[in-house]
A and B are shown apart, each in its own frame.
Chain A
Amino acid sequence: MSATTQAPPAIDRTGGQKMIEVAGVSRRFAKRLDFAGKILAKLGVPLRDEVVHAVDNVDLVIRKGEVVGLVGESGCGKSTLGRMVAGILPPSDGNILWKGRDRTGMGGKDARAAMLQAQMIFQDPMSSLNPRLKVSEIIGEAPLVHGLTKRSDQARYVDEQMRRAGLDPAFKGRYPHQFSGGQRQRIGIARALAVQPEFLVCDESVAALDVSIQAQILNLFMKLRQELDLTYLFISHDLGVVEHLSDRVVIMYLGRVVEEAATETVFARANHPYTQSLLAAVPRIEARKKAFAVVRGEIPSPLNPPAGCHFHPRCPHAFDRCRAEVPALKEVAPGHRSRCHLNDQPGHGGMPV
């Protein structure tokens, strides 16, 4: 573990301080046997707790000022990882260091400060905004509680946050349902920014929006990054969005990181067969009457993942070793890590597509 947690120096694009360091983090969700199940198990019926390895031994470093894109299909564990990084879900194993310190070991005041510094923006603002609170209360409550503003100054503070997220402060007396989808997402952003965070986890924050509104929100994210010197973990299934926004891309498949590299590298020289097929499957506007690239098969159930490399049943290059042995996440070029046995094959330099 200690060998993999050391980030290769080439990843250090900004030379910035390590904001988040995820070391060997796993998260399991278990469905325990019910009473009848326990009795049957005692009687020798082969029943066990069902355990999902949502996130399996992930290492990740996010440096100050970086935008890291986290990509994967449904069930790959990207949201679970995002929640752990944001500090709203504890890991089952491993450590998440916030600026070099473990958040679980911090005292009350430090822990609270660290939690405030990392905020999360969700996919569906309707289920993450309290429908019974006015916008001014949604945005203004947390900074007041945490002493970032005084009650006498709260109105002005809320106006400032709303303006920064592109909302008209005149609407602060309204309720979330009176806004359109894009504006609701702006409320979510204003709420996150109101506690002056340094780090934002955006979990599919633009996935539910129309293209023209999505462009507005993405532009807002980029503007805020400049203005407030923010660091982002940007979780998305949309490779186009991630390519546009991120400095570095991390690709997950069934709980494991399969590839990690600078954005240009991933889109120009993807190493892992999964990344390659993902890129090939993305519909492009430039395509005309093309035959759609087809990846065989389905994403396996995380309850019962395939042995060895999780991708081997769908991989066009799979060979015997892939079925037996889990490949390690190895550096294939400076700052470019990939989890594939093919990289150990002699004469196989950087897999051609």
Chain B
Amino acid sequence: MVKFLSRCFILGSFLAASALPALAQSADAASAAITAPVRRLNDGLLGIMKVGSAAGFQARLSRIGPVVDQTFDLPLMTRLVVGPVWTKTPAADQAAVAAAFRKMTAARYAGSFSGFSGESFVVDPKVDARGLDRLVHTKLVRPRGAPVELDYRLRQSGGQWRIIDIYYQSSISQIATQRSDFGRILASGGAKALTVHLGQLAATSAK
């Protein structure tokens, strides 16, 4: 009896020992799938920072453009920024504002991340959840000055995790700030006016 129990115990511990890493691995894998777009974006940003101003704006844009497309849910972000007016906007205007939003986002990255001086990104593997959304915490570590905290909010779309918002210093939501900033334009000129403004922003980034 004692032997049987001890055998069970051994078997049990063996099972537990083999199962635990498997469980941990699957948790790690889930977390890795969520943080993957963020890491991919960070790698892309480091890439254009390193080619720097020598490569020129257009070269940086053509490198970061596909990364932005694959890591952000740009159509959803556009809808969130436009807000409830979205449903009253004709399809052609919806497509135009979404295209302008995409162009502006990529252009802003290509314009801002134009030099490298030893920066690095740290991605926290621990992911926060709120409903269906996940929050990935990252830090932009700079050789000089305090690190900049950047949190990414992700949502699943077609089985893929995509970034839908960025929180600067863990407190300022990009979507919320853009909603405020664009509120008047949308109120006076709708999605068409916003398309024009986003086009101007993209053009300014290219300078």
**Bound together:** no
Which A residues are closer than 8 A to B by beta carbons?
A: none
